[in-house]
Amino acid sequence: MTTKFKPGRSGNPAGRPKGTKDRRTELRALIKPHAPDLIAKALALANEGDVAALKLLLERAVPPYRPIGEAVTFPMPKQGSLADSGRAVMEAIADGNLPPDMGRQLIDALAALGRIVELDELDRRLSALEEKSR
């Protein structure tokens, strides 16, 4: 199978030509003068029972609910491995001391921290090897 583009090569290295209009911008410009009439029509349809119009208006008018967790405390090891911290989070979830969604956020944060620590360790080792080879 022959590919049109070579791996690692852009199909358009020069990028979009300057001054090229975005189609979304053009559509918004066409719709903007009619916005009050369109909103009035959507409101009328929603008032007549059109569920899709009602949903559209509500999605635009009311921001989605995002729960904000309250602060919780549970024993977290101050010294120890990231695995120990992960186990502490899992135990707190299992014991009912930490909501599962907040636990997941903490586990994700620990995973990100693990990647940072790993990269830092690799950088330190690489620097040491480079220093030895000089």
The pLDDT tens digits for 70-115 are 777 878 888 889 999 999 999 999 999 998 989 999 999 999 999 9
Average pLDDT over residues 48-69: 85
Round to whole Å and give the CA distance between 75 and 29.
56
Mind giving me the DSSP string for 31-82?
A: HGGGHHHHHHHHHHHHHTT-HHHHHHHHHHHSPPP---PPP------SSS-H
State the pLDDT at residue 40.
92
State the pLDDT at residue 118.
95
State the pLDDT at residue 1.
55
Measured CA distances, 23 to 13, 14, 16, 29, 124 (Å): 21, 20, 13, 10, 48
Which DSSP state fits 19? T
**2-50: pLDDT as tens digits:** 667 677 777 777 787 888 878 888 898 999 999 899 889 999 999 999 9
